[in-house]
Each structure stands twice: as structure tokens, then as C-alpha cells.
Structure 1
Amino acid sequence: MRADMQVRVLPARDPAAPHPTLYLLNGAQGGFNDSSWFDQTDIVDFFADKNVTVVVPMGGTASYFADWIRDDPVLGHQKWATYLTRELPPLMDSTFGGNGRNALAGISMAGTSVLQLAEQNPGLYRAVGAYSGCAMTADPMGQAYVRLTVARGGGNADNLWGVASDPRWRENDPYINAERLRGTSLFISASTGQPGQYDTISGPGIDGNIGELVSRIGVGAVIETAVRRCTVALRSRLTSLDIPATFRLPPAGTHSWPYWQDSLHASWPQFARALDD
């Protein structure tokens, strides 16, 4: 992408032996402003005893981690798919002793991206985790959600996949292209948007801040309600195609990091089995 890229890495427990790699993508803020897996979750402690390299690419604000069709006046030259799938894995494997077996997981915006990257690069990822992402990008509601996310980062989604009628919106729709997920171990989660166990004044990430609590219960609830719709639709789609997938759909929870940490913990045993096969 014509730039120096920042990557945060947790080396495997036994770096001398070949081992798999788990890529964790941040959300629409790109991991900045204390919004990364390192800042908001327990990945350092959780993976301390596990023989897997954990890679967290930084950046990608409002990019959908895609190769954009043209440069954006604000977001610039975006070729995230090329970077993540062609350039970064060989470097990580050679530097940290990877064995070529990869898993990929992401939250929110990246919960869409991980499905797209898996569909467009068959065989690169043995397992994929999509936490609170919307798998539908081409229908009017899905496209509106993408455009809003990109606009919040200052970008113009016409530079991502073109105008509303451009076929690239359908080409990048994980729901429409779900057949391409066959053979990948899938773990997909979304809550309802209803306040859950972490949405309290003393909850993690709130820590007594009433403004943060109001934001999480308000904005976080609305976003999670929307992605729940997409997730339930994807479950029906995969079922109709007879493609196995694990769905975690708790009855309460907002669009926030404590629930994504829970989803990562819940999905890891499935990832580990896929990476060991």
C-alpha cells in the first residue's frame, strides 16, 4: 500500500517449532484510539500457553480491508486484501516459524471482511471467525450499512466498490457468495442488542463512565440489532446450502469488546482443531 505497515504480534509458546497463525482484524477504527485486540481483550494472557502466532494488523480505518477500485481523497490508497492475503502471510511465516496453516477472525466491520477474504482466497484460511459482522453488502440495507461505516471514517464507498448498481457490490457480498465458504471451519456470532451482563456502570470498558454506558446501550444496541439480522440470514443461507457452521447467538449483548472476547474464547477450540487437521 506504498506505506510502512504496523503489525502487532504475539509469538507462539514454542517459536522453535513450526506452528499455525491466527490473524485478528480490528474494527472500523483500525485498532487506533485504544480500539485494538491488544487494548480491549485478554489475548496476551489467553494465548500465552498456546502454540500459535497471533498477528494483529494495525490500520485499515473504514476500509473493509478490501482492495478499493480507486484511491480515496481521505482514506488514500487501499489495497488491504492484497496486503493481508499475499504479502503478509509469507512474511509472518518466515519470521515467526509459521507452518502455512492460518485462521482469521474479525469484529464488526472486519466481521464482514473475514468472510470476504475467505471466499476470495480459498484454502488460505482453515478457520474463520466473524463476530458481529454483517454478511450482506449488496442489498439496500447492507449497502447502506457499508456506506455509513465508510463515511464515518471520512471515505466515499463509491471508491470502494463503485456506485450502488455496480456488480462489485454483489461480487463482494458474503451472503450471495456463501458457497465459497464450503470447506472452511466457520464460527459466527452476534448478540441481540439488548443490554447484557457487561452493559452495566461497572462493566469492562465502562468502568463508572456514565457517558460510555449510555453510548454502549444506545449506539451499540442499534448496531448489534442490525448485524444480528444479517447473521440470522446467513445462518439460513448456509443451512440451505448444507454448509456446516457454528453460530453463537446469545439472547443479550451489545456491539462491544467484552462480547467479542467471549466469542474469541468460544471459537478457539474449533480453530485449534481446524489448524491441527
Structure 2
Amino acid sequence: MRFGSRAAAPKRVKSGRRGAPRGWRNRILAVGAAALALPIAAGLAAPTVAMATPVHTPVHRAPAGGYEDLMVPSSMGPIKVQVQWAARGGDAALYLLDGLRARDDRNAWSFETNAMQQFGNDNITLVMPVGGQSSFYADWYSPSNLNGQKTTYKWDTFLTQELPAFLEGYGVSRTNNAIAGLSMGGSAALSLAGFHRDQFKFAASYSGYLNISAPGMREAIRVAMLDAGRYNVDSMAAPWSPQWLRLDACVFAPQLRGLPMYISAGSGLPGANDNPNSAIGVFNTGNAMALEALSMINTRAFQFRLNSLGIPATFDFPSTGTHSWKYWESQLWNTRQGILDATGAW
């Protein structure tokens, strides 16, 4: 390839020992010049290709079936997410939501229950977001003004937009997911599934509050959120706000039609997992009894609402059981088959 005026014809080189080296040297120089010219010409012809930035897919630091902590970017800042990858590299995921007193270091499903062991051999990724105390996993209007919160909760956005987009880079589907939670997380699981039907194929609520428009429920939630981190419920949903309706499963129930669901709540009576052996233990068990009884009333109301709409769901109301983790661990196991069937995670 030549640039500029036409090059002169090369001189003949006489054969012989003296002429041969010069001929080979010329050939080598010509090849080298061509090699240097080609990338220059390619760059001039297609600058977008030469200047393009390569896209790298995230790399698993843990093998299939392994465990990993991810820091996921969000509008709230980096959010820790505990992940157990699908046993055989499948694209399905189960989102496990925490309760009202969610911690900032670990999701309680990972240490209060055997959830990871339950799904350890299944082709589904467990996704356990960390944090969100008193959030109801909703998008709030403003930071809580009673405890100096610096950022506005945007958990709905995180769980349905930012986190799925991040996990997609690891091969986790945006649309082949199940979601389950307890108490606050149970209410949120149905809300997120109801308003994002393209993302979730199954939803489960254990001891959730599914009729929060009932008399006294908003006041009860206000008191509970003050007790769990001094959060102001008005920053989530002002008294006149339609946000309350978005959080009430009995109101958005029609949007759940066609969604496989598992819903449970105990009676509030102490059972096999309640063995208080101290004064504080007795106090905590009493609280757990009251909370579960309230959840059971809410869940019965939700069952009646679904029946009135002709929407099927699996309900379980054990004769004993309080608002505590070992009961939710058992309910997760009861739900496992439905989750695997809905997502095809075999």
C-alpha cells in the first residue's frame, strides 16, 4: 500500500552473493512498512471500532453453588447483597426479604435459618439483600426526620431495577425470579410481585401484614417503626398518601391474579420452637405471640379478599406458632417445591 505520489520502479538486482542480501533486506523493509501502514489505514477507515471500549461481563469469584458477597451500586449508595449461586449455573433467582429489624451487616435468612442449605443443591440463586430496617422495601418520599437518616429509601427501585440489572451481568435472569419474605418482608414480597409481574413468577408471605388499611394498622406500624430504628412512617407514606394503598395487599390483590402464591401465618400460640427460659425470654415470646396473632388476622382477611376475587393461592395456618425464625424456616421448606416449579430451577 502506497500513500502520496507514485513510487519509482525498483531497480533490478543482479543475482549473486553480493546482490542477494540487498534484495532480502528490501523485501523485509517493505513488509514492515505494510504492517505499520495497515493499522493506520484501519484506524482512519473505522475510528469507532479502534476507539471502542471493551465491555467486560462480571466474573464469578465463587463457583456454581458457591457463596459471595456483592456490593451493588444504587441511588442509596452501595448495598451489600449476599448471594448463593445456582448449583448448576441456572438463571433463576429467589429473593429473600428480611423483617422490620433488618440488620446492616447480614440478611437474617443467612444465619437465622438453613435457607442456603435448603436450596444448596438446586439450580436457583439465592439473593439476600442486606439492610432496609423499617423500610417495607418501598420507595419513600424523603429521609426519616426523626433519626437523622441521610438518604431516602428507594428499595423498590433497587430490587426491581438496579439489582436485577447488576445480577444480569452474572447470568441471573431479570424475569425468572421468585420472592419471599417474613413479616415486613412478607408484605413487601406481595407488593413487589404485584407491581412487577414481569420480574417475579412466584411470591410467598410468611406472617405478613396484608391488610394495613384495617382499623388501627397504620398506627401499629407507626409505633413498630419508631421502636425499630426511630423511623418516621410519614416519610414513607403520609396519612393522606396513596402510597398506603400500594402497600396494602388487600387493595392491589387483583394484580396478583395468575401468580402462584404461598401465604402462611401461625395462630400466635406457643409451639415446639418456643421455649423461654428467662424473664426476657418470656417477654419476647409474649411479643411474638401478639405479633403473630395480628399477622394471622391480616392474613385471614387477605384470604377472604382473594376468595372474593376468585384468585387461587396456597394458604397455611398452623395451629401453633409465634412470630419467630424457626417457624419461617419451616414455611420456606414448605414453599421450596412451588418455587422450583414456577422458575423451572432443576
User: Taking structure 1 as reference, are residues 89 and 51 closer, same or farther at Cα in structure 2, changes over 3 Å only?
Assistant: same
How big is each residue's C-alpha offset from its partner over 1:121-141, in whole Å with a ceiling of 9 and x where there is no partner?
A: 122110001000111122332
Deviation at 1:50? 0.6
Residue 265 of structure 1 corresponds to: 333
Aligned partners of 1:117, 1:184: CA distance in 2, in Å? Answer: 12
Query: Do structure 1's residue 78 and structure 2's residue 153 form an aligned pair?
Result: yes
Aligned partners of 1:178, 1:137: CA distance in 2, in Å? Answer: 13
Aligned partners of 1:99, 1:82: CA distance in 2, in Å? Answer: 14
Aligned partners of 1:33, 1:145: CA distance in 2, in Å? Answer: 27
Secondary structure of the corresponding residue to residue 176 of structure 2: strand
Aligned partners of 2:168, 2:303: CA distance in 1, in Å? Answer: 33
Residue of 111, 118, 121 corresponding to 2:193: 118
Aligned partner letter, 1:259:
Y
Aligned partners of 1:274, 1:211: CA distance in 2, in Å? Answer: 44
Aligned partners of 1:90, 1:35: CA distance in 2, in Å? Answer: 21
Deviation at 1:28? 1.1
Q: CA RMSD in A?
A: 1.8
List runs of 5+ in structure 1 lacking aligned partners.
202-208
Residue 206 of structure 1 corresponds to: none
Residue of 298, 307, 311 corresponding to 1:239: 307
Aligned partners of 1:33, 1:220: CA distance in 2, in Å? Answer: 24
Aligned partners of 1:97, 1:165: CA distance in 2, in Å? Answer: 39
Residue of 283, 288, 292 corresponding to 1:220: 288
Runs of 4+ in structure 1 over 3 Å off: 31-35, 96-100
Deviation at 1:217? 2.1
Deviation at 1:212? 5.2
Secondary structure of the corresponding residue to residue 78 of structure 2: coil
How big is each residue's C-alpha offset from its partner over 1:101-128, in whole Å with a ceiling of 9 and x where there is no partner?
A: 0000001111111111112212211000
Residue of 119, 123, 129 corresponding to 1:47: 119
Aligned partner letter, 2:86:
A
Deviation at 1:199? 0.6
1:1-277 matched pairs, under 5 angstroms = 1-15=75-89, 18-32=90-104, 36-73=108-145, 74=147, 75=149, 76-98=151-173, 100-152=175-227, 153-162=229-238, 164-201=239-276, 210-211=278-279, 213-276=281-344
Aligned partners of 1:217, 1:19: CA distance in 2, in Å? Answer: 40
Q: Is the Cα–Cα contact under 8 Å of residues 11 and 53 in structure 1 kept in the other structure? A: yes
Deviation at 1:70? 1.7
Q: Is the Cα–Cα contact under 8 Å of residues 216 and 255 in structure 1 kept in the other structure? A: no
Aligned partners of 1:241, 1:19: CA distance in 2, in Å? Answer: 33
Secondary structure of the corresponding residue to residue 175 of structure 2: strand
User: Taking structure 1 as reference, are residues 34 and 168 closer, same or farther at Cα in structure 2, changes over 3 Å only?
Assistant: closer
Aligned partners of 1:150, 1:186: CA distance in 2, in Å? Answer: 27
Q: Is the Cα–Cα contact under 8 Å of residues 267 and 322 in structure 2 kept in the other structure? A: yes
Identity %: 32
How big is each residue's C-alpha offset from its partner over 1:226-260, in whole Å with a ceiling of 9 and x where there is no partner?
A: 00000000001101101110001000000000000
Secondary structure of the corresponding residue to residue 92 of structure 2: strand
Aligned partners of 1:167, 1:245: CA distance in 2, in Å? Answer: 26
Larger radius of gyration: 2
How big is each residue's C-alpha offset from its partner over 1:123-176, in whole Å with a ceiling of 9 and x where there is no partner?
A: 2110001000111122332212321232122111111111x2333312331111
List runs of 5+ in structure 2 lacking aligned partners.
1-74
Deviation at 1:220? 0.3
Aligned partners of 2:282, 2:106: CA distance in 1, in Å? Answer: 19
Aligned partners of 1:232, 1:116: CA distance in 2, in Å? Answer: 17
Secondary structure of the corresponding residue to residue 6 of structure 1: strand
Secondary structure of the corresponding residue to residue 297 of structure 2: helix
> Relative contact order (C-alpha < 8 Å, sep 6+): which is higher?
1
Aligned partners of 1:187, 1:39: CA distance in 2, in Å? Answer: 23
Deviation at 1:266? 0.2
Number of matched residues?
Answer: 267
Deviation at 1:32? 4.5
Q: Is the Cα–Cα contact under 8 Å of residues 105 and 130 in structure 2 kept in the other structure? A: no
TM-score in terms of structure 1 length: 0.91
